[in-house]
Each structure stands twice: as structure tokens, then as C-alpha cells.
Amino acid sequence: MKAGRKGASSARESVSVHDQKLERGQGGDMHQVADGDTPLLTTAQGGPVADDLNTLKVGSRGPALMEDFHFREKIFHFDHERIPERVVHARGYGAHGYFETTRSLAEYTRADIFQRVGEKTPAFVRFSTVAGSKGSFDLARDVRGFAVKIYTQEGNWDLVGNNIPVFFIQDAIRFPDVIHAVKPEPDRAFPQAQSAHDNFWDFISLTPESMHMVMWVMSDRAIPRSFRFMEGFGVHTFRLVNEKDESTFVKFIWKPKQGLQSVVWNEAVKINGADPDFHRRDLWSAIKAGDYPEWELCVQLFDQEFADSFDFDVLDPTKLIPEEVIEPIPVGRLVLDRMPDNFFAETEQVAFMTQNVPPGIDFSNDPLLQGRNFSYLDTQLKRLGSTNFTHLPINAPKCPFHHFQQDGHMAMRNPVGRANYQPNSWGEGPRPDPRRGFRSFAAAEEGQKQRLRPESFADHYSQARQFYRSQTAVEQDHIARALTFELSKVETVVIRERMVAHLRNIDEGLAGQVAEKLGMRQMPAAAEAAVATRDDLELSPALSILRNGPDSFAGRKLGVLVGPGSDAALVNGLCEAFEAEGAMVEFIAPAVGGIEASDGSWIEADHMIDGGPSVLFDAVALVLSKEGAALLTEEATARDFVADAFSHCKFIGFTEGAGALLAKAGVEADADEGLVPLGEASAIEGFLKACRQLRLWAREEAVKL
């Protein structure tokens, strides 16, 4: 038994980690290969597998081939693993709205939705976490799905993206592996909705191509304050095709009108305990209050010449094009203004597929996108139980549609008339139109059939370094803390060492900080890199949340703690000022029934102090008389309310009477400029101005949370 460990030894101690025999592929990826002690990987039919990391393509950068039976079997089995819950993105929440075109793209695409400025098109959006089950909590450290279904006049367009512009893997054949690794470990069925465990970091530490994504997931991007305050990305490179069949490459970005905002990790943990439905409730409340979330759709447009000259391969889904290199062009806006009538019928049954594109939008040869185009249709069949899932209202097009598909489970409509085929002699049924119909861009492809990652995909560290160094010092510290926390939950020392070895290729300071916090006695050697990390990439301020914060408190929430005798004029003044800003104001009191204010009026509470912790609010005001403060100092939850707000760097407005509660919580009234006295109603404007900054990050070093 190891020193310092009491009781039964950990189950992990029985697991030995052997050095694996690794071979580097031509594209820089590491292959674990069978030796005399390792079983040979086979298909489910028993056929030996030569390569489990790359799909079969035409050339190294060409499209994937349907004859790749190993990929199809692997994805097929993965897609059908669970029913009825989604295998990934199981916990989701959705809303209806519309997309309004604000700039014509007729020069670049014949897609009808981009022809007429001012035209509004119905839309449905589903936000989600990736790793957790339907019953998991909202504030997991995780990627967020950002899937948009736009019901265009030429059929449904599904832009199925995330709140992070890159992904863990370069080839779709690895998707089952990364998801298996992050899901609860199969021999114990935990942890739920968490990546802080051995299996996930074992996979990541053996997958250098994941390092850029790891920087994003360990950043505050993975713990957003709300769906309303996060960006969305199409991730892949797509094509726009115009009437002349000319192609322009495009990347899609959704930018929130109310700016970016996240929470800190300690806050996320407490929110999950106080309200595991925090993101759901936030979206519901905002739409019901008429504060409709809005995003601007921006596009990065570029041609083949730029693609050939760019530092990285535009087909590599682990890479992005910095906004400073190609400025995103606003072309439309997305507004969510209506909640579903029934969660199951709409949010749960909605089926997104990357293959759903209107004429004028086409695919690139991104190997992850090619795999998704195969996988999504297959998984909808399993999850919804029938090929007729398009008959469900949430999935049905809102434009006219005609086809000869018939029968099957749950068929709600069938072809009418004699003919259910074409061509036919009866003059019945629809016919294709080569001019108006979808036409794939006629890209010339050549090359040998092979399982190979192109050399242009081999740089796994340079953009990871660019992302990390583009963050503010506060954000860099959060990344280091997140990595330290996650790896501290990894019980296998070799895995921790492998990760620090990768971090040395990203930033030596980051690697050293994590190694020190993990208590490593010596630094491991830097991981062997297929391509040396570049140090000449320009910093990209657009990658930072804090550099792109809002200039308003609109859409945020102020929590006002009140007690007997609270100043009624001050309470009313706070409500008027913050609601005029577009913020929400909620009251927390000793009892949910409310309190009697200083003028004898009654203030109804939205929360009692036990159920309304400060983590639920973006800023707080302590509007207390001495009597009210004395009452609340006896409540541990009231002391936590103040202490947490201070620790999480929130702005705190307070009356003179609140001094006793501040003292009880260990907070000095003059600790920093984030504590704003509210002696008179005239002080409200100064408090609101301070709150527009969202957080006082300078406090974080003093708090050392």
C-alpha cells in the first residue's frame, strides 16, 4: 500500500500502464500498433484492420469513399449504441425564431436564403452539452452544441455547429473513440458529464491533434454564463456555389449581440448544485420576458488561392482562420422569440443533419465533415425509429416538397395516384430539374485510394500556442487551473506526465505552472512533435472572451438582497435603472413571501435566501437596514451569498446597514472598487456603470479562489 493511503487500495492500482509501441504516420499522427503481446484489431466480422485512424480517401486530401467498410461499420455501431437518448448532445434545449438576411450573397451563392435583404425565414435552434446524459447538469465543463435548422424556400438548411470553432479529431473514424473516452468509464458508469478522469486524458495524451481543442475546452469558453452569451461556429470549411457554378470557400460564425460571458469554475460547481437547469431556465426566462436572444451570422470567404497559401490546411477541422486574417462579414441575424409548445415533440425529436444544405451551399473534403454527412442520417433512423422522421412537424420542410418515398413505420403521408416511381407514362409525380436542383461543385479529384493523413494536417501545436497566448493573463490563469484540476483527477501518473509533455510544446510557462501544481518532481521531456511549434503566428485578440466583452449590462441579472426595513426608494431606483438598461432584477429575502420595506410597502421575493445564492446573478446589491442585516448575519447562506459574490469577482452594491453582513462574510467594505456604497439614489448610476464591466478581475489574485 502506498504511503499516506488508508483503507482498501484504489481499484486503479491494479491497472498497469505499459509503454505502447507507437509508430508515426505520414501525417504526423501516432499509431498504436499490435505486437506479440497485443491482440490484432479486427472488424466485427473478424477481418484484420490495418489503419484505425484514417478513412479511405481519394488521395491524401480528397473525399472519403463509401467502400470504406471499416469506417462504415465503426460509425454504424456507434450511431446505434443508445436509444432513445442521443449518443452525444443528449442534454439540449431549444427555441424557435427566425433568420433575417441583411446582406445579399448572390455574387457567391445561388442559395435562395441569401438573395433578398430583409427576408425572414423560420428557424429552430437547439443548444446542448456533448458528454452528459439527458439528466446531467447544465454547467458542465464541456463543448456546447449550437445547431440551427433554417426552413428555407429550397428545403431545410442545418448548420450543425458548436460554440468552439475547432474539434478534437481530424478524421471522423476517430469520433467513436473520443466520445467513448469522455463518457462514463464502462466498468463503473462514472463520472457523469465530466472529462476529469483517466480514460479521457489517456486518449487525449495519445492524440496530439487534440491539443488545440484542449486549450479551448480548458478555457472559460467551456463554462458559458448562458446560451445567449456564447458564439457559434460551423467548424468546417464549406463551399458557396453561384449560378455560374463558381465556388468560394466559407466558414460560418454566429456572434451574440449581447457579447460574450462565462463563469468561473468554482461558480459553475455551485450553480450546478443550486440550479442544474441554469442554462435552460435562463433561455426560457429571457424569451418569456421579451428579451429575445440575437446573433449575427458572419462569414469568412476565401478562394482556392488563399486556401493554398494559408499557413494551415483549411480542410483540417482542428484549425481555424483567425478573424484578423480574414475578417468575418455580417450577412444575417438570428432571433429566438418563441419557446416550444412541447419539449419532447420539438426539442427532443428535432433531427439535425449536416447533409441538409440548399442548392448553392456545398461541402468541402474535410474528412470530419465527410464522416458527419454519413453518420447523422444513420443515427436519426435509430433514434427516431423510422425513415419517416421527416414527417414529424419539427423536421418537415416549410416549403413545398414532393417525392416518391413511401410506406415504412409511422408513414403519415404517401404518394397520391397510380405512379410511385419515375420515369412513368402516366404524367404523374415530381421530376428533377438540373437547373434548379442541388448540384455538387465539380471539383477535380485524383489520387490513389489510401488511408493517410496529409502532411498539411501534421502541425498539432502552433494554433494551440496561438490561442493560449492570445488570452489575457486572467484567462491564461484559468486555463492553467482547469488543466491542473482535470489532471489532478487522473490517477495514472504516466498520463499526467504525457499531458505536461504536450503542454511544453504549447507554452513552457503553462507546462511549468501545471507541473508545479500537480507536484511533479521533475519535468518530462517535451513530446516529440511531427512539426515544430511555430512561434511567429500573430496573436488574435478575437480569441479572447474578456477582450470581446459587452459594453452594457443588458441581458444580465442583478440579485437584490432585501430584509425588513429595506430602503424602498433605493430598491425602486435600482429596478428602474437596471431594467432600463435591459437587465433583469430579482429579489432575495429571508422568506420567499417577501418583506415589508421602509415605507410600509411589500416587496415580494423571487427567492428565499436558502434558494437564491449569488452564483445565480451577474452582480448583487445588498439593500439592507441594520435590522435586516442583523437578521441575515445569523444565516450561513446569507454569509455565503456575500462571500461567494466577492470571491467570484462580482460587483457588490451595498447600503450602510449591510455593513454587519459584509463583516460577517469576511469582506471589508473598502476592499476594492468593486464594492460600491449605495448611500443615496444618485449612487445607482455609478453602480450600474461599474456592473457593465461584468467582473472585477483584479480581485482574483487577492481572493486566490
Catalytic residues: 89, 162
Contact yes or no for 478/220 (Cβ under 8 A): yes
Contact yes or no for 56/450 (Cβ under 8 A): yes
| C-alpha torsion angle, residues 92, 96, 97, 103 (rounded to 10) | 50
For cell 460554440, what's the residue? 163
**What is the β-pairing status of strands 557-562 and 584-589?**
parallel
> In the numeric block, which cell numbers belong to residue 128?
446542448
b/e per residue, 453-492, with b = 16+ CB within 10 A? Answer: bbebbbbbbbbbbbbbbbbeebbbbbbbbbbbebbeebeb
Nearest alpha-carbon partner for 703 in 645, 638, 660, 661: 645
Across 218-309, where does the E strand assignment appear? 232-233, 238-241, 247-256, 294-302
**What is the β-pairing status of strands 619-623 and 607-608?**
unpaired
Distance CA 425, CA 405 (A): 19
**What is the β-pairing status of strands 361-363 and 56-58?**
unpaired
> In the numeric block, which cell numbers belong to residue 7?
483503507
At residue 240's C-alpha, the angle toward residues 234 and 242, to 5°, is 160
Distance CA 632, CA 371 (A): 58
> In the numeric block, which cell numbers belong to residue 471?
488570452
Distance CA 620, CA 583 (A): 12
Across 474-525, where does the E strand assignment appear? none
Contact yes or no for 662/668 (Cβ under 8 A): yes
